[in-house]
Amino acid sequence: MLLKDKVAIVTGGARDIGKAVSKKLACEGAKVVINYYDNEVQAKETLQEIRDAGGEALIIQGDMTQQQDVDRVVQQALKAYGNEVHVLVNVAGGLVARKKLEEMDEDFFDKVVRLNLNSVFLTMRAVVPHMSSGASIVNFASQAGRDGGGPGASAYATSKGAVMTFTRSMAKELGPQNIRVNALCPGMISTTFHDVFTQDMVREKVANGTPLRREGTAQEVANLVACLASCETSFVTGTNIDINGGLAFS
């Protein structure tokens, strides 16, 4: 029970990697506030699975690119579980669509950046005042933030690269308060993200080119999040940790 009685907020916490993170944190004893955007059915399923396993959680709808929604999620979390947040995990984000430079307009580029970068900024700004010494923030970047991403993913890769830099900056800024800030850079993880945006032949090629010869799982990512959220990694901050089966090294 690495996170017994801790309060954790997980944005985008109802499906895929976010769902695995929410369940893992609850398994480790945290009271988990699960934010979701547009799929209440999945959110309720995640909540029920946590409760069936003996965990404690609640679900709150909200668009993490909108300050009023972010504030509402945080305030409801505080109302339900006390005046402090110990863990923040920023999973919310997405590719939206694969578009090359000539296909992108300004609105599309801005939408992708808001979804992946602004959401992290807005949520951290709202949560940090309610954190104290020993708190931990885990952001989600991507391998795309390191290598530029695949075809048509330049806006996504750019926003994730910015998350990596923002993570380093916040680690420096919040370090004197003993609040740690790290990020994960997942590679090919078996989720609906790749079901939608990546062709099967590309996924197979990437998996075969990975030293471990497979895709990763959401559970493997969640396990790493739980470790970073806990005091087991109390001297780790400002890192952007690769989890890609050895496909690329930072």
Which one of 36, 37, 81, 156 is the catalytic residue? Answer: 156
| Residue 44 · residue 60 · CB < 8 Å | no
Active site residue 156: yes
What's the CA gap between 59 and 46, in Å, rounded? 9
What's the CA gap between 225 and 29, in Å, rounded? 14
What's the CA gap between 63 and 35, in Å, rounded? 9
Q: Which ranges constitute the DSSP H helices of the chain?
A: 16-27, 40-52, 67-81, 106-113, 119-127, 144-147, 154-174, 192-197, 200-208, 218-229
- In the chain, what is the straight-line distance between the N-terminal and C-terminal CA atoms, in Å? 31
Amino acid at 239: T
Burial class (CB in 10 A: 0-12, 13-18, 19+), 49: middle
Among candidates 30, 22, 23, 33, which has minimal Cα distance to 3? 30
Any idea which residues carry the catalytic annotation? 156
